[in-house]
Amino acid sequence: MTVRVGVIGAGMIGQDHIRRLTDVVTGAQVTAVTDIDQARAAEVAARVGATVFPAGSDLIASPDVDAVLVTSWGPTHAEHVLNAIAAGKPVFCEKPLATTAEDCLRIVEAERAHGRRLVQVGFMRRFDAGYRQMKEVITSGSLGAPLIVHCAHRNPTVPESYTSVMAAQDTAVHEIDVLRWLLDDEIVSAQVITPRATSQRFGHLKDPQLMYFETANGVRIDLEVFVNCQYGYDIQCETVGEAGLVRLPDPAAVAVRTAGQHGTAVLQDWKGRFADAFDTEFREWVASVEAGTEPTGPSAWDGYAATVITDAAVRSLDSDGTVVTVDMKPRPALYGGTA
Ligand code: NAD
Ligand code: ISE
């Protein structure tokens, strides 16, 4: 069976995922596209022979759409995901699941009422080969219990529209998700402090930021978010355990020796750094839709948890570095909990 996918939001990542579903992943076809910019929707749809729909609700209702991909702006995600659940269709939603914890909970409740998982959230790092190898090592127990995680998330530059709260909501949210999964543990508190600011930023922005998280098992996580580091897109992660440590590998790159120097290039954006992870993410999602099974990637609950934890980080930033307790509801049975 070919999975017929309808895409809501034909912007930057929407177009990249349409290319991926068309040219990289087998078993899928983009049959429908919508965007509030209808001219953009028409142009993107024409590239892949898809039909243009006037709005997300019409696209979701179409009999030519088996599954929905939401790549519109964050504040619009909840409406589209709730409509897809109401229609009983699998839905892949780019991060964030929703921009408020309340909207995330509405999605969780709708999915619980439906009785099985339909939602997967686009936290692609769980599909990165390096993070998967790290998880295998941690799960094997060879390092003993994990104690500390050191992370850095660096972007070369960000536009003026990037604000201080986005360091948590847009950037650190990837570590928040991948570390919950990597450690199989829950984050219970957040603290954000701001060192001396780089001169290489727009004046309104607090950059870099140092974020500290504690987990239910007492693991301490430190995360440097530095989005104007200039030199490249650089993701670092090292987990220290009782008997050793495991470090995320840098992407493979040839080493060049010339003019008295020896070095490797540093990637410049997340698209290149996580290209393979995005491909794997969609291969596995399409396979689950094709098989009629529940998705195995990040769930609506993971989307809720990420939003609640980033809310705590933002509250800490807004209160000059106070340690903020994460106020998370009990995890429902549908997502492996007991509630
Ligand atoms: P973008 O602005 O390039 O594209 C968004 C598109 O959605 C625009 O074309 C806009 O007109 C359209 N749109 C907005 N509201 C709509 C609605 N209600 N119905 C239909 N179309 C609508 O943005 P982007 O950079 O592609 O980001 C889209 C989403 O992807 C965001 O939630 C962002 O956080 C997420 N994202 C995820 C990653 C990742 O690493 N996983 C990376 C970048 C962006
Ligand atoms: C962007 O939205 C992403 O998701 C990238 O992975 C992240 O590195 C960047 O800081 C965000 O703005």
Q: Please tell me the distance between residue 239's alpha carbon and the centre of ligand 2 in angstroms.
A: 22
> Which residues make beta-bridge pairs with 324?
190
Query: 259-275, pLDDT tens digit by residue?
Result: 999 999 999 999 999 99
Q: What is the tally of structural domains in the chain?
A: 2
Pocket residues for ligand 2 (CB within 6 Å)?
155, 170-171, 174, 227, 270
Give the residue from 92, 83, 79, 76 showing the smallest Cα distance to 62: 83
pLDDT given at position 83? 98
CA of 76 to the centre of ligand 1 (A): 9
Domain that holds residue 51: 3-122+276-299
Give 74-112 pLDDT, tens digit per residue: 999 999 999 999 999 999 999 999 999 999 999 999 999
**Cis peptide upstream of residue 96 (ω within 30 degrees of 0):** yes
Both 41 and 109 in a single domain?
A: yes
Cα of 27 vs centre of ligand 1, distance in Å, is 24
Give me ligand 2 centre to Cα 170, in Å: 6
> What 3-state DSSP class applies to 58?
helix
Residue whose Cα lies nearest atom 7 of ligand 2: it is 171
Banded model confidence at residue 229, pLDDT cuts 50, 70, 90:
very high
- 38 shares its domain with 102: yes
pLDDT of residue 1: 83
Please give the pLDDT value at position 295: 97
DSSP 243-305: TEEEEPPPPP---EEETTEEE-----SHHHHTHHHHHHHHHHHHHHHHHTPPP-SS-HHHHHH
Q: Please compute the mean of the pLDDT values over residues 10-28 and round it to a whole number.
A: 98
* Per-residue DSSP letter, 129: H
With 90 as the cut, is the pLDDT of residue 239 above it?
A: yes
Residues 138 and 116 in one domain: no
Averaged over 215-238, what is the pLDDT?
A: 98
- To test the pocket of ligand 2, the residue of 125, 171, 201, 237 to mutate (highest count of ligand atoms within 8 Å of its CB) is 171
* Torsion angle defined by CA atoms of residues 13, 93, 105 and 308, in that order, rounded to the nearest 10 degrees: -40
Q: Could you tell me if 242 and 116 lie in one domain?
A: no
Atom number, ligand 2, closest to the C-alpha of residue 227: 10
Question: Which residues make Cβ contacts (< 8 Å) with residue 328, sequence separation at least 6?
Answer: 186, 305, 308, 309
Q: What percent of the chain shows pLDDT beyond 70?
A: 100
The contacts of residue 330 (CB under 8 Å, 6+ apart) are: 337, 338, 339
At residue 218, the pLDDT reads 98
For residue 122, name the pLDDT band (cuts at 50, 70, 90): very high
* Residues 312 and 293 occupy one common structural domain: no
Task: Examine the domain organization and report whether 261 and 135 are in the same domain.
Answer: yes
Tokens 């001396």, residue located = 196
Are 39 and 14 members of one domain? Answer: yes
pTM higher than 0.95? yes
- The whole-number pLDDT of residue 294 equals 97
What is the CATH classification number for the domain harbouring 44?
3.40.50.720
CATH number where 153 lies: 3.30.360.10
Give yes or no: residues 243 and 131 share one domain. Answer: yes
Query: Over the stretch 50-74, which tens digit does the pLDDT of each residue have?
Result: 999 999 999 999 999 999 999 999 9
Judge whether residue 40 has pLDDT over 90. yes
Same domain, 144 and 174: yes
Instruction: Examine the domain organization and report whether 52 and 87 are in the same domain.
Output: yes
Taking all residues of the chain, what is their mean pLDDT, rounded to a whole number? 97
Percent of the chain at pLDDT > 90 equals: 99
Q: 189 and 294 share a domain? A: no
Residues 27 and 96 in one domain: yes
Question: Given this model, what pLDDT does residue 184 score?
Answer: 98
Q: How buried is residue 204: exposed, middle or buried, by Cβ count under 10 Å (0-12/13-18/19+)?
A: exposed
Using the mean position of ligand 2's atoms as its centre, give its distance from the Cα of residue 154 in Å. 9
